[in-house]
Amino acid sequence: MLLYNLRLPQSNKTDGPRGPMHPKRILLAAAALAACVPAAYADDNKLTLENRIAQCQGCHGIPDWKTAFPEVYRVPKLGGQKPAYIVSALKEYRSGDRDFPTMRAIAANLTDAEIEGVAKYYGGDAAAPAGDRK
Amino acid sequence: MRPAMTKKLLALALLAIAFPVAAASGDAEVGKKKSTPCAACHGANGVSVSPEFPNLAGQYEDYLESALKHYKNGKRKNPIMTAQAANLTEKDIMDLAAYFASQNALQVKH
């Protein structure tokens, strides 16, 4: 256990409000981290549609949310959009035909079923022009 | 400097900042007149009749602007839209974006 030999330099700059970090606490932190990381990777295969939609909502679910790169404009509203259009847009991002770095990165790992699910979520109630604008 | 004078200068400075921004946005009324070709696919009210064409009504103005600019400069590729956007001026794009943004349909779904 190399961590047992770890010694922090005795400098005031690194001291927190409770004094220098004790090696035992470092070990504890490392153990906690080790316990988390493999679990997070294992869960990668079990992403639900809700997880995917949450990913979309991080930008598309916030009124007036703006992209910062490579250009600045508000991310498009998806509520009430045509499901078939959302499907084709996501597939174009996935194949690289449509060029927006963030969406390409997100769409790269989507399955056809997930794409259909996301499209249904946003476009499911895409009937008449109604509702208040946000 | 007297306080009153400072206030006047500040007001002038604010006007100078605000005015070009206002002048740079599109005119929805003019956009409506220019939107006739769009209606063939995107519907008379920005709600398209065909499932594969996106609704435009109520979409954010700046997003619509950037989409049209990307079709025009080739960054976004679509056989129909490339041809449509090719002949649009920057002013046309702003007017059309203002028009479709002024309609109701699309929403931010929470």
A81/B55 CB distance under 8 A: yes
Whole-number pLDDT of residue A40: 53
pTM for the model = 0.70
> What average pLDDT does range B65-92 have in this prediction?
97
B58/A75 CB distance under 8 A: no
Whole-number pLDDT of residue A1: 42
| One-letter amino acid of A103 | M
B104/A131 CB distance under 8 A: yes
Measured at the CA of B88, the angle between CA B97 and CA B56, to 5 degrees, comes to: 30
B108/A63 CB distance under 8 A: yes
Domain that residue B32 falls in: 26-101
Nearest CA in chain A to B75: A99
CATH number of B70's domain = 1.10.760.10
DSSP for A24-81 reads HHHHHHHHHHHHHHHHHHHHGGG--HHHHHHHHHHHHTSTT-B--SSS--BPPP-BT-
Copy the structure tokens of residue A113.
């079923």
Q: Considering chain B, what is the average pLDDT of its residues?
A: 89
ipTM rounded to 2 decimals? 0.78
| A130 chain-B contacts, CB cut-off 8 A | 104-105
Whole-number pLDDT of residue A134: 39
Copy the structure tokens of residue B88.
């649009």
CATH number attached to the domain at A48-123: 1.10.760.10
Classify residue B14: in a domain, yes or no: no
Classify residue B11: in a domain, yes or no: no
Q: Has residue B91 got a pLDDT over 80?
A: yes
A85/B52 CB distance under 8 A: yes
> What average pLDDT does range B16-28 have in this prediction?
66
* Identity of the residue in A88, A99, A133 whose CB atom sits nearest the CB atom of B58: A133
A74/B55 CB distance under 8 A: no
> What average pLDDT does range A43-54 have in this prediction?
83
B41, B69, B106, B110: best to mutate for the A interface, most A CBs within 10 A:
B106
Q: Has residue A18 got a pLDDT over 70?
A: no
* pLDDT higher at A110 or B5: A110
Classify residue B60: in a domain, yes or no: yes
Whole-number pLDDT of residue B7: 73
Domain count, chain B: 1
Whole-number pLDDT of residue B64: 98
Q: For A67-118, write each residue's pLDDT tens digit.
A: 999 999 999 999 999 999 999 999 999 999 999 999 999 999 999 999 999 9
